[in-house]
């Protein structure tokens, strides 16, 4: 790692620099932990210096494993061509003997090491859960939690845990899912782990592309881009994971809405200082860490946006705009949408303790049509109400009072809080919705 670059990138960070953040992670990664049966072995996690010596992996083609191969998957390159492509890369291939580097959809020059090695930031497998009442003893009201609702089952994943692990492999409502968080891009996702007949398990590679987490699956050792949910290197290159709806809300909002739900426990089997933030000050620095792309100056690089994709159309809406209006109605790709914003959620990446982060608010994106009727929404006395019945709605899209009490709007998959630099890096043709107009 180039120390000069690290210091330059984080000169505006008021509390700790990038070097300190990654040193904290590196130290934590060497502390005592308990590996689950699904995790890779210690020998799999050993890092080394970059090399271009790659042998063709002895793997079973993905289509024979029951995974669909998209027609758009690139043709494999020859071993000789692969050796040429890997010269001068900024990552090691020595820990990846099972990864089929001959098949890839991106330039290897875009990938670089983020510091920790393969699995060095350990994903969580077979997570332990606890009750809302129990979690309330260690979570503060304003702390952000990632909320998943599938087939009537609801679960919360506190950011104070995700910031140290980045991936949780779980099953909710019978659906195997991966809950992800990349602190450097502030990207948060929930993906189905089903790919054809396969159920994948994910861990961290320790690598970045455009500052974003690159994941790998234990079944085929394909590399996956977290920001797009797409395989980029290996047998499953071109396969897209199914994104599932989720929300990021305050702990107070969650425990009030779902008092009987389950919460990811801090009993992870790993020794981490949960509640602390190794990236303190990052979301005001203005200098994305290890980002090679060109910055789009229409917005501050680390300004939070909600990103939405409908068909081939993409749009980003700054949180500052959403906060000013609280309710935003518009149409994208022929689909009517409503976006709610509510204050009260603390930043994960601001203060040294997550509980002390500044208020950045929460968003929810929904289809405004319910039971064959279109609803429009506004703010009255600080509450979200529909103009048709005057019912009051929560940030989670549920009517909490009025004639529609108990009704639930259909959630739309969205990307809450993603940093602008990251969103536009992966969606270069995105439209920007600001001040009531599109650009």
What residue has token string 């994910």? 202
110 token code pair:
């875009």
Reported pTM: 0.87
83 token code pair:
């050796």
The pLDDT value given to residue 71: 84
The pLDDT value given to residue 56: 42
The pLDDT value given to residue 433: 87
Q: Tell me: the pLDDT tens digits for 262-310?
A: 999 999 999 999 999 999 999 998 889 999 888 999 999 999 999 999 9
| Whether the Cβ atoms of residue 306 and residue 339 lie closer than 8 Å to each other | yes
What residue has token string 């992996």? 57
Nearest to 199 by CA among 229, 219, 179: 219
Return d(Cα 387, Cα 376) in angstroms, integer. 6
| Whether the Cβ atoms of residue 29 and residue 116 lie closer than 8 Å to each other | yes
3-state secondary structure of 194: strand
The pLDDT value given to residue 321: 94
User: Which distant-in-sequence residues (6+ apart) come within 8 Å of 212 by Cβ?
Assistant: 182, 184, 185, 187, 225, 226, 227, 422, 425, 426
The pLDDT value given to residue 286: 85
Q: How many domains does the chain divide into?
A: 1
Q: Are strands 313-318 and 431-434 parallel, antiparallel or unpaired?
A: parallel
Position 404 in a domain:
yes
| Whether the Cβ atoms of residue 92 and residue 49 lie closer than 8 Å to each other | yes
Residues of the chain with pLDDT under 50: 1-17, 19, 23, 26-27, 30-59
The pLDDT value given to residue 65: 60
Position 361 in a domain:
yes
For residue 65, CA distances in Å to 62, 68, 69, 219 come to 5, 9, 11, 10
Structural domain including 343 reads 302-438
Cα torsion angle, 366, 371, 373, 376, sign: negative
CA atoms within 13 A on the CB side of 153: 13
The pLDDT value given to residue 334: 93
3-state secondary structure of 44: helix
Position 85 in a domain:
no
Nearest to 41 by CA among 124, 118, 127, 121: 118
Nearest to 186 by CA among 349, 412, 300: 349
Position 418 in a domain:
yes
A 10 A CB-CB count for 93 gives 19
- Residue count of the chain, please give it: 439
Q: Which stretch of DSSP H or E encloses residue 423?
A: helix 420-426
Position 334 in a domain:
yes
Return d(Cα 79, Cα 57) in angstroms, integer. 11
| Whether the Cβ atoms of residue 249 and residue 150 lie closer than 8 Å to each other | no
Whichever domain contains 339, its CATH number is 2.102.10
Position 221 in a domain:
no
The pLDDT value given to residue 169: 98
């Amino acid at each position: 790692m180039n120390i000069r670059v690290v210091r330059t990138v984080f000169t505006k960070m008021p509390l700790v620099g990038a070097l300190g953040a990654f040193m904290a992670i590196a130290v934590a990664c060497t502390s005592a932990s308990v590996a689950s049966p699904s995790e890779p072995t210690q020998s799999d996690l050993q890092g080394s210096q970059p090399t271009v010596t790659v042998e063709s992996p002895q793997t079973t083609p993905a289509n024979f494993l029951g995974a669909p191969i998209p027609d758009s998957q690139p043709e494999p390159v020859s071993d000789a061509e692969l050796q040429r492509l890997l010269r001068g890369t900024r990552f090691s291939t020595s820990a990846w003997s099972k990864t089929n580097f001959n098949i890839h959809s991106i330039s290897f020059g875009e990938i670089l090491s983020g510091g920790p090695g393969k699995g060095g930031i350990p994903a969580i497998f077979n997570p332990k859960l606890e009750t809302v009442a129990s979690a309330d003893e260690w979570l503060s009201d304003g702390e952000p939690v990632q909320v998943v609702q599938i087939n009537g089952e609801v679960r919360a994943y506190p950011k104070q845990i995700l910031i140290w692990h980045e991936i949780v492999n779980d099953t909710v409502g019978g659906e195997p899912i991966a809950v992800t968080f990349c602190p450097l891009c502030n990207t948060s996702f929930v993906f189905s782990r089903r790919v054809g007949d396969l159920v994948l398990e994910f861990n961290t590679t320790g690598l970045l592309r455009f500052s974003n987490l690159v994941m790998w699956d234990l079944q085929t050792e394909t590399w996956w881009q977290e920001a797009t949910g797409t395989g980029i290197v290996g047998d499953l290159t071109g396969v897209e994971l199914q994104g599932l709806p989720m929300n990021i809300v305050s702990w107070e909002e969650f425990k009030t809405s779902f008092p009987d739900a389950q919460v990811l426990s801090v009993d992870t089997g790993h020794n981490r200082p949960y509640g602390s933030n190794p990236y303190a000050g990052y979301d005001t620095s203005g200098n994305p860490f290890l980002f090679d792309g060109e910055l789009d100056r229409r917005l501050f690089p680390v300004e939070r946006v909600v990103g939405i994709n409908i068909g081939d159309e993409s749009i980003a809406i700054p949180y500052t705009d959403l906060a000013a209006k609280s309710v935003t109605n518009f149409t994208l790709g022929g689909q009517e949408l409503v976006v709610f914003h509510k204050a009260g959620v603390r930043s994960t990446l601001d203060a040294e303790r997550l509980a002390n982060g500044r208020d950045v608010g929460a968003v929810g994106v929904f289809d405004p049509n319910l039971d064959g009727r279109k609803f429009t929404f506004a703010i009255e006395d600080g509450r979200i109400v529909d103009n048709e019945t005057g019912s009051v709605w929560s940030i989670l899209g549920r009517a909490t009072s009025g004639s529609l009490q108990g009704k639930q709007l259909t959630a739309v998959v969205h990307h809450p809080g993603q940093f602008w630099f990251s969103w536009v890096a992966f969606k270069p043709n995105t439209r920007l919705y600001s001040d009531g107009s599109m650009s």
